[in-house]
């Protein structure tokens, strides 16, 4: 046996959210749905995916509408954007409510003066583990948030988006491989791929792209809460020796949102240290 220590991927400036903006989204108008974040321990919480994306997009030159069902969380994100020199607006909306979605998209278009980008960073996983523990009301709740909500957001936003815009779904590798042991969550994330491809097809008529970022294990407040319920999550092997940061997920979304991905649509990018590709 080798005495060599397992490889641990070093943190880059991008991994830590310390890299400067490069103007990759200048003058873009982007709605981030799920731009707040939960609080597990305010003194030690790392940045969540939605907050990291809101901050990064603004740092790259975009005006951002931060939408979340928790106004306080969205306001906190917007405050960080403003403190960083960016432009952010707060929208309170519950993705499980159709009326809220209609209002949210309309408010974003009015406030930003148009819409060039949409990020759907939403998802819940509830219920017991395994098929035997599935309850129909919990199944409906998960699919209502994880699949119906993004569909309604796209229904409302796509006709209003500027030509050449971009829609990014934040999914999970649970939509690619079994593993969460939450059937409704896995099924909803897998179905999100079908929705994304349909949106990409319809969007192509005016150059609007649609893609998925599928994170693996990420060290976020939500991830830490999930680990509290499933301790094995925190010790699962990683090829890079650690979980991803919210910033690393945000940079993948930035690629899809920017002109660097101008010829990429209908695709899924797993940000998982290779778990779904080489394990």
**Residues involved in catalysis:** 185
- Residue 210: count other Cβ atoms within 10 Å of its Cβ: 27
Distance CA 14, CA 49 (A): 13
Distance CA 109, CA 135 (A): 38
Nearest Cα residue to 182 out of 234, 235, 236, 139:
139
Q: Using a CB cutoff of 8 Å and minimum separation of 24, what contacts does 86-92 make?
A: 86/55, 86/58, 86/59, 86/62, 87/58, 87/63, 88/54, 88/58, 88/63, 88/64, 89/63, 89/64, 89/65, 90/65, 90/66, 91/31, 91/65, 91/66, 91/67, 92/67, 92/68
**Contact at 8 Å (CB) between 62 and 29?**
yes
Distance CA 3, CA 232 (A): 25
Q: In the structure encoding, which two tokens stand for residue 74, read together?
A: 């969205």
Distance CA 160, CA 275 (A): 37
Q: In the structure encoding, which two tokens stand for residue 28, read together?
A: 């873009």
**Contact at 8 Å (CB) between 255 and 261?**
yes
- Residue 237: count other Cβ atoms within 10 Å of its Cβ: 10
């Amino acid at each position: 046996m080798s005495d060599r220590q397992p490889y641990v991927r070093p943190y880059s400036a991008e991994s830590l959210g310390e890299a400067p903006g490069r103007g990759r989204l200048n003058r873009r108008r982007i709605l981030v749905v799920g731009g707040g974040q939960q609080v597990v321990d305010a003194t030690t919480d790392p940045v969540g995916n939605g907050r990291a994306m809101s901050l990064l997009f603004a740092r790259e030159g975009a005006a951002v509408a931060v939408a979340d069902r928790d106004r306080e969380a969205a306001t906190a994100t917007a405050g960080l954007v403003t403190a960083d020199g960016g432009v952010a607006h707060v929208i309170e909306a519950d993705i499980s409510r159709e009326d809220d979605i209609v209002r949210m998209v309309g408010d974003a278009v009015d406030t930003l003066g148009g819409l060039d980008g949409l990020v759907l960073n939403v998802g819940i996983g509830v219920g017991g583990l395994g098929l035997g523990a599935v309850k129909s009301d919990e199944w409906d709740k998960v699919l209502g948030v994880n699949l119906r909500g993004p569909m309604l957001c796209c229904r409302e936003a796509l006709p209003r988006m500027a030509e050449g815009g971009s829609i990014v779904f934040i999914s999970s590798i649970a939509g690619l491989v079994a593993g969460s042991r939450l059937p409704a969550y896995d099924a909803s994330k897998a179905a999100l791929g079908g929705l994304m491809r349909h949106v990409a097809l319809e969007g192509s008529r005016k150059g609007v792209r649609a893609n998925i970022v599928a994170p693996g294990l990420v060290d976020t407040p939500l991830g830490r809460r999930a680990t509290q319920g499933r301790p094995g999550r925190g010790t699962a092997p990683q090829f890079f020796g650690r979980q991803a940061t919210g910033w690393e997920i945000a940079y993948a979304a930035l690629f899809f949102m920017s002109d660097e991905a101008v010829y990429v649509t209908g695709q899924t990018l797993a940000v998982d240290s290779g778990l779904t590709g080489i394990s």
